[in-house]
Amino acid sequence: MELRRSILEGTIAVFNRKGLKFTMDDLARQLGISKKTIYTVFDGKEALFFHMVDYLFDSIKESERQVMEDESLDTLEKVRRIMSVLPEGYRNIDFRQLYPLKEKYPATYARVQERLETGWETTIALIEQGMREGVIRPVEIPLVKLMLEAALEQFFQSDILIRNNIPYSDALEQVVDILVDGIAARETG
């Protein structure tokens, strides 16, 4: 299990530097192991990418859990952080490099989409809690979910971030700010 995690972490590091163009030789050099050793765990680059997606999303879920357990945060701040959560170690990953996935590795791209569209229970529960507390105005939660999913999918499907030189983490933070500030309860007066 440790070798698998090490290979996935190495894949993320090499991917961040070279994008989808990295080679298994690049990965072996990064890890200081042979390609043969890598192939005992993963049967190829596509399998590496597929499992890297799950590894990253599982790390995001762990970061969500930490946000939920942070008693210093109010409900609205938890919503904001959950919607824009990126594990600390992955803040510098260039997720814009996922743009070419759709054509080169369609199964992996489908996995990215599947993971984006599932696992919303915590976020939905927080938004519902915020509505009960009055810090979030009544909204149709499926629309909020759709808007965030659509923004993230566009980040991966188009080169808009690359063309405009916008880091993924900045784009995610701005989208979440727009969504959360748009759903925050309005002061009447």
Q: Note whether 45 and 63 are within 8 A (CB).
A: no
* 163: its two tokens: 């063309």
Confidence at residue 87, expressed as pLDDT on a 0 to 100 scale: 62
Confidence at residue 127, expressed as pLDDT on a 0 to 100 scale: 94
- Mean pLDDT for 42-51 is 92
| The one-letter amino acid at 163 | R
| The one-letter amino acid at 88 | E
Polymer length in residues for the chain: 189
- Mean pLDDT for 94-119 is 79
pLDDT > 90 in the chain, percent: 43
Confidence at residue 96, expressed as pLDDT on a 0 to 100 scale: 63
Phi, psi of 32 (to 5 degrees): 70, 35
| The one-letter amino acid at 72 | S
What digits encode the pLDDT tens for the residues 126-179? 999 999 999 999 999 999 989 988 887 777 666 788 788 888 788 888 888 888
Phi, psi of 184 (to 5 degrees): -65, 145
* 136: its two tokens: 């979030």
* 82: its two tokens: 């959950």
